[in-house]
Amino acid sequence: MVAVEERSRSGTRPPAGLVRLAPTPSRERSRLASLSLRTLGPVLLFVFWWIGSSTGFLVRELSSPSRFVDTFQDLYEHQQLVHQVTTSLTRALTGAAIGATIGLVLGAIAGLWRMGEELLDSSLQMLRTIPFLALVPLFIVWMGIGETPKIVLIALATVFPMYLNTYNGVRSVDRKVLEAMRSFGVTGWRLVRDVVFPLALPSILTGLRFALGVSVLALIAAEQINSSAGLGYLMIQAQQYLQADVLVVCIVIYAALGLLADILVRVAERFLMPWRASVSR
């Protein structure tokens, strides 16, 4: 860090050891510039898709953007696309809400109390290594082919990223801060509510971001369980009839749902942690 000593207007030197930092130019980007940079990647991918499909560089089965638009319009008009997307989104959000809540509670218990860690951590670390796709046949045997196994599968997939990040966030809270707050008389639930969770909030929101992303991945597997509505239903029908253009539309919608989940967490971060936005600037 470069420090510059300055004389006052009267010509006297400042006290020894006191220096004034040289002013640095503001590097804050405008919102328009930031939005432009964020959209640059998707735009480049779209251009690559357009050029590759028109020149034959990509496989012929991959629909061109113009064919994609026509297929999207056809699905919207004749296949109740809005209803299918709403059904899938409801499944993903319901499962993610259940799984994230369970993961948050378990992570807090394991992070706050040593006995909680000893009781929970080893079992959860073992269970999280089981691929959730391997549980699909078992869930069908246990719960049938209705909505229940779909929601449970999504919830199970989202528990572990939320648990790991919550546990890490709670355990990473500086013990000196906790001791200082105890000296001011802040103990018990007040200490957890006013100190531990605010300091662990960045890790908790990171876990929520991962959980929502995983919920979309689990949704794809869950909707293969005898779905009669949803994007998975459209994909199964398209696979049977070799409709590659419909498959591409469904994949793009899945990607859009993942992006929407990330945007929701970013908005939550701005409301819950406004100081991070000012620091990043």
pLDDT tens per residue, range 206-244? 899 889 888 888 888 888 777 778 888 888 888 887 788
Contacts 24+ apart (CB under 8 A), 66-73: 67/245, 68/245, 68/248, 68/249, 68/252, 70/245, 71/245, 71/246, 71/248, 71/249, 72/249
Q: Which residues are paired to 254 by β-bridges? A: none
Lowest mean pLDDT among 39-53, 196-210, 223-237: 39-53
Q: What is the pLDDT of residue 61?
A: 58
- Mean pLDDT, range 58-83, rounded to an integer: 77
pLDDT category at 20 given cuts 50, 70, 90 is: low
| Range among 45-59, 94-108, 226-240, 261-275 rated most confident | 94-108
Q: What share of the chain is helix, strand, coil (3-state, %, to 5)?
A: 75, 0, 25
Question: What does the pLDDT read at residue 96?
Answer: 92
Q: What is the pTM of this model?
A: 0.75
CA-to-CA dists, residue 204 to 56, 147, 173, 187, 232, angstroms: 45, 28, 12, 22, 30
With residue 244 as reference, give the H or E element that holds it: helix 244-272
What local confidence, expressed as pLDDT, does residue 47 receive? 78
Average pLDDT of the residues of the chain: 78
Give the mean model confidence (pLDDT) for residues 78-102.
89
pLDDT(148) > 60: yes
**Helix, strand or coil, per DSSP, at residue 2:** coil
pLDDT bucket at 180, cuts 50 / 70 / 90 = confident
Asked if the 64-280 domain carries CATH number 1.10.3720.10, the reply is yes
* Bridge partners (DSSP) listed for residue 4: 20
Which of the pair, 277 or 192, is modelled with greater confidence? 192
Single-letter residue type at 107: G
Check pLDDT > 70 for residue 18: no
Length of the chain: 281
Q: 71 pLDDT exceeds 80?
A: yes
Q: Give one word for 242, left, alpha or beta, with left for phi > 0 and alpha for psi -120 to 50.
A: left
The dihedral sign for the CA sequence 156, 162, 164, 170: negative
CA distances from 173 to 113, 115, 230 (A): 13, 18, 42
